[in-house]
Amino acid sequence: MITRNFQSSSPLHLESGKVLENFTVAYTTYGELNSDHSNVIWAVHALTGDGQVADWWSGLVGENALYNFSSHFIICANLLGSSYGSTNALSENPATGTPFYYEFPTLSTRDLAQSLEMLRQHLKIEQIHTLIGGSLGGQVALEWAYTLGEKLEHAIIIASTAKTSPWVIGFNEAQRMAIAADSSWGQEHRDAGKKGLEAARAIAMLSYRNPSDINTKQQEKEEKIDGFLAASYLRYQGSKLAKRFQAFSYWTLTKAMDSHDIGRGRGGVELALKSIQARVLSVGVNSDLLFLADETRFLSQAVPSGSYGEIVSTAGHDAFLIEFPQLTSLIEEFYRS
């Protein structure tokens, strides 16, 4: 594993009309390029992930996994706005010499895809065998697949959509409201909104899981009137995230997710999807309450060369981070077809 920083010498012109004059993208690579550079696997992480894909997707990327280090050259970059090395709201604003904080510009999934394209060009990678991502990572991957054209052979989009639904935007707004309700939000320090982030994560976990999963795993074994397992579980998940992530990044990336619409300025979703040249596998989760399986299935129906597979799980949206045997089987079948 090698982790490096790409410092762009060119500005990134954002959809908002603003410009990041210079920016950094932290990225991690595993394995080595083969002689004809045909073994590039590019993964895109989800909302609170990072570039070390072998850690959080260990059942898919690893020494003995489908994407192993001896056969593949695997890349995963930390998305702009995130907390793990790439330019974000706590980075220095070159115009002021102090952190951006609340002046950090709004990013779209298209902006995030463009920053990855600039990294690809910097690395002189001419062909990507497989671009793969789930949730927000799937949205960014889909945007990038549109612009990559014939430079991309396969796109695997998991538990994701062509356009963010009002349902998802509503969940994200409720989470940002929780952050904004924190009395420290608005202050200029790195821990601003930390308690609000804990509450935001608790809200998010209810959308990442399926009711049947929570009802089973957090079922009480004794009668009580307080101190319920489900409440403790959500508080634990909120505290756990706040120790490794920051509210500024959460705000930035949920806003990016809200922005996602592959058809914006391109004649609509269906016309945009028809322009994707890569073979596409879209993978839904039967119990996903956030990005519905039908929304994910639509991707495979709208692109010129698409296939659909479905993970069967009680885990809900997060099944794409858990159900590795099913996911591996679906991808292997896609490659064989």
Which member of 45, 72, 260, 317 is catalytic?
317
Q: Is 32 helix (H, G, I), strand (E, B) or coil?
A: coil
**Is residue 80 within 8 Å of 114, Cβ to Cβ?**
no
Which member of 83, 288, 313, 318 is catalytic?
288
218-226, long-range: CB < 8 A, 24+ apart: none
Q: Is 261 helix (H, G, I), strand (E, B) or coil?
A: strand
Query: Which run of H or E residues covers position 28?
Result: strand 24-30
Q: Please, which residues bridge with residue 132 across strands?
A: 43, 156
**Beta 2-7 vs 128-134: how paired, if at all?**
unpaired
Active-site residue, 72 included = no
Active-site residue, 129 included = no
Phi/psi of residue 215, nearest 5 degrees: -60, -35
Nearest CA among 81, 70, 93 for reference residue 25: 81
Angle between helix 109-123 and helix 247-259 axes, rounded to 10 deg: 100
User: How far apart are alpha carbons 14 and 110 in whole angstroms?
Assistant: 8
Which member of 135, 160, 259, 282 is catalytic?
135
User: How far apart are alpha carbons 300 and 155 in whole angstroms?
Assistant: 11
Active-site residue, 260 included = no
Residues belonging to the active site:
135, 288, 317
